[in-house]
Amino acid sequence: MPSVVNIAATRVVEARTQSPFPFQFPPGSPFEDFFKEFNQQQGAPQKRKSTALGSGFVISQDGIVITNNHVIQGAEGILVKFTDGKEYEAKLVGTDPVSDIAVLKIQSSNKFKPVALGDSGKSRVGDWVLAIGNPFGLGGTVTSGIISAINRDINMGRYDNFIQTDASINQGNSGGPLFNMNGEVVGINTAIFSQSGGSVGIGFAIPANFAKNVIEQLRKYGETRRGWLGVRIQEVTKEIADSLGMKEEMGALVADVNEKSPAKKAGIKEGDVIIEFNGIKIDTMRKLPKVVGEAPVGKEATLKIWRDKKVVNK
């Protein structure tokens, strides 16, 4: 509890007010200039402050806080509040909109109590988990549940690999931690599936193992540096697999290769099917961007490709 914070991100938004007069005065009317000026004033954009509420958690004694990018995106001021009522201003260290992770630094010389990021790779379906957050502005709310699924792809982005849980997650829980029974953070609560806007027991968390690499880069560089192959890919359907002489539908079909890309230099061609990357089997097309994105930048990678009805190593 002492490591989980409520986050209030303040933005300035512009809103245009509609003119109260739905009619125009005829040219030359004595009221024309007066109402023209009045309408301009009414139609001018009005600036107002908007506050978004979310959650976060401390991972170092000097006050590094992890949250979601969408909680603090476009914020002019960020305030973090602990369960003991203490409030601090925070500045943005770095953010990654693609994975929806942001790193903040509390503007204080105080020592804070951190939580540890656990090994989410050991998490299994059926494991008990606890979510702590700030749903609907009710700070310090704890909900429990189990892991419903792992490696869930919900088509939110290129690197979808969520832990699904039935622990109640609502608006304001975004950026909060998902704990295992050892008190380690195994996920960052990010999204819910809901047609009503409330929790229906289907929540999604970014796995800690994926987040660790992103957090480390954001702290070090203020941005993320991901592996890049330089190809446009498409799904291998049954028809494509049959036409290429493949026994099963797997891999990512290369539809286009960027000029001056690592793939071009390695001799990858259109029509190749990438079936393995750095020893990791590419079961589906969507797995390739995740695996490539997590690969170390500037280092050689080994690929297995299906070409001319045989496996080629690159």
144 included as an active-site residue: no
Residue 271: CB atoms within 10 A of its CB come to 13
Q: Which two tokens stand for residue 1?
A: 């509890």
CB-count exposure of residue 140 (10 Å: 0-12, 13-18, 19+):
middle
100 included as an active-site residue: yes
List all residues 6 or more positions away from 30 whose beta carbon is below 8 Å from its beta carbon: none
The active-site residue out of 100, 160, 166, 272 is 100
List all residues 6 or more positions away from 27 whose beta carbon is below 8 Å from its beta carbon: none
Tell me the three state secondary structure of residue 19.
coil
Tell me the residue length of the chain: 314
What spatial distance separates the first Cα and last Cα of the chain, rounded to whole Å? 50
Q: Which two tokens stand for residue 242?
A: 């049959």
Specify the amino acid at residue 291.
Answer: V
70 included as an active-site residue: yes
Q: How many helices (H) and strands (E) does the chain have?
A: 6, 18
Q: Position of tokens 């979510």?
A: 131
The active-site residue out of 55, 99, 120, 174 is 174
Check: CB of residue 266 under 8 Å from CB of residue 290. Answer: no
The active-site residue out of 70, 160, 168, 199 is 70
- Strands 185-192, 177-179: parallel, antiparallel or unpaired by DSSP? antiparallel
Q: How far apart are CA 262 and CA 8, in angstroms?
A: 42
Check: CB of residue 134 under 8 Å from CB of residue 54. Answer: yes
Query: How far out from the chain centre does Cα 28 lie?
Result: 57
Q: Which letter does DSSP use for residue 251 in this model?
A: S
What residues are labeled active site? 70, 100, 174
